[in-house]
């Protein structure tokens, strides 16, 4: 998802309850899919799916959903996900929730999304638990229920789902469904950030910069903003520009500030463009040229070589 974020869907090998021949066919299909040979996977999975194998049905649904080995076809994805979900396959139920939430191949229907997310969530699927929380937090007014969002986020976060941990951080930071508690927000953001969630890393950086829930610590703020910026988070990159411009936690550097503002301006940010241009009056032509070169190097290295 996303997203929203970012939800990673994987094809899984589950062969319990099928014949030896069917298991071999399923295994052959799985190996083909792992090798990127989706045509062979499709040929092996389709007969199993038509015979009622829930896992093969899920995988066919995923292939049509993602357009792997077939022309992307949301209606066909919905068909196979439904067949699998009705047999209790949690991943198919979760993906149906996504499809109804986003209106892919079906009319958007939050009530139907909640139905399928809940079926998967009640089986302990951490992704579904988090997504159910998202619908309760951000859905339309007839669905919105912060207490329910908190409940499902907690269950998912208890399984170390980084998105749910991040979302709990947001709830505590904003006081949604719980009393506002910056220390608790910090705790959940940290758990998520340590798993590499860029949103949580950036928010942790903001809280260390501002002294919310923790003593202000610019060095920690720089650390977390940098980790987020290296994943392409534009807000974290802006924060790095600000901290280099004013020497917060780092030596003041107009070159580094210009570099980060310039990088974000490439995304179309008017604010970043204005702040970059404001730096020019403080810089020599040589410094400007250096900053521009560094920005190109940073972008070309996918944010891994960004001048230190």
* pLDDT value of residue 307: 85
Q: Is residue 132 part of a domain?
A: no
- Among 35, 62, 96, residue at a domain's last position: 96
Can you give the pLDDT at residue 32? 83
141 lies in a domain?
Answer: no
| Final residue of a structural domain among 96, 114, 141 | 96
Note whether residue 19 is domain-resident: yes
* Domains of the chain: total: 2
> Are residues 24 and 54 in contact, defined by beta-carbon separation less than 8 angstroms?
no
Query: Of 88, 151, 147, 93, nearest to 117 (Cα)?
Result: 93
Crossing angle for the helix pair 198-210 and 182-193, nearest 10 degrees?
A: 140
pLDDT at 296: 97
- Domain-located, residue 208: no
* 161-165-167-172 Cα dihedral, nearest 10 degrees: 160
Between the alpha carbon of residue 277 and those of residues 64, 138, 241, 256, 282, the distances in Å are 47, 37, 13, 13, 10
Instruction: Note the Cα 141 to chain centre separation in Å.
Output: 24
Domain that holds residue 273: 225-308
Give 218's contacts (C-beta < 8 A, 6+ positions apart). Answer: 208, 209, 243, 248, 249, 250
Contact 253, 244 (CB under 8 A): yes
Question: In the prediction, which pLDDT does 24 show?
Answer: 52
pLDDT at 39: 86
pLDDT of 29 reads 78
pLDDT one digit per residue (tens) for the chain, 308 residues: 332 222 233 333 333 344 454 555 677 777 887 888 888 888 888 999 999 999 999 999 999 999 988 999 999 999 999 999 999 999 999 999 999 999 999 999 999 999 999 999 999 999 999 999 999 999 999 999 999 999 999 999 999 999 999 999 999 999 999 999 999 999 999 999 999 999 999 999 999 999 999 999 999 999 999 999 999 999 999 999 999 999 999 999 999 999 999 999 999 999 999 999 999 999 999 999 999 999 999 999 999 999 86
Model-level pTM? 0.86
With tokens 């534009």, the residue in question is 234
Q: What is the predicted pLDDT for the residue at 84?
A: 97
On whether residue 246 sits in a domain, the answer given is yes
How does DSSP classify residue 19?
-
Final residue of a domain: which of 96, 120, 145?
96
Domain containing residue 33: CATH number: 1.25.40
In a domain, 254, yes or no: yes
> Burial letters for 66-104: b for 16+ Cβ neighbours within 10 Å, e otherwise?
eebbbeeebebbbbbbbbbbeeebbbbbbbbbbbbbeeb
Is residue 30 in some structural domain?
yes
């Amino acid at each position: 998802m996303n997203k929203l974020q970012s939800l990673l869907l994987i094809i899984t090998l589950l062969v319990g309850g099928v014949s030896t021949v069917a298991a071999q066919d399923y295994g052959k299909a799985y190996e083909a899919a792992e090798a990127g040979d989706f045509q062979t996977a499709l040929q092996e999975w389709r007969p199993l799916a038509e015979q009622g194998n829930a896992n093969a049905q899920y995988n066919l649904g995923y292939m049509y959903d993602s357009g792997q080995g077939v022309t992307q076809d949301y209606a066909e994805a919905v068909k196979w996900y439904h067949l699998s979900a009705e047999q209790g396959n949690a991943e198919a139920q979760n993906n149906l929730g996504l499809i109804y939430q986003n209106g892919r191949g079906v009319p958007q229907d939050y009530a139907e999304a909640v139905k399928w997310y809940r079926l998967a969530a009640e089986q302990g699927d951490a992704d579904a638990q988090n997504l159910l929380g998202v619908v309760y937090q951000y859905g339309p007014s007839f669905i919105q229920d912060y207490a329910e969002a908190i409940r499902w986020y907690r269950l998912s976060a208890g399984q170390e789902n980084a998105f749910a941990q991040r979302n709990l951080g947001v709830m505590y930071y904003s006081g949604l469904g719980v009393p506002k508690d910056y220390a608790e927000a910090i705790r959940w953001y940290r758990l998520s950030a340590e798993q590499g969630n860029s949103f949580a890393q950036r928010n942790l950086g903001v809280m260390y910069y501002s002294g919310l829930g923790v003593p202000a610590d610019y060095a920690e703020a720089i650390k977390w903003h940098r980790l987020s910026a290296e994943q392409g988070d534009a807000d974290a990159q802006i924060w790095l520009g600000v901290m280099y411009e004013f020497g917060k936690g780092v030596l003041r550097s107009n070159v580094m500030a210009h570099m980060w503002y310039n990088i974000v301006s490439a995304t179309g940010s008017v604010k970043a463009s204005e702040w970059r241009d404001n730096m020019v009056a403080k810089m020599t032509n040589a410094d400007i040229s250096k900053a521009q070169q560094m920005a190109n190097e940073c972008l070309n290295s996918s944010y891994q070589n960004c001048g230190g």
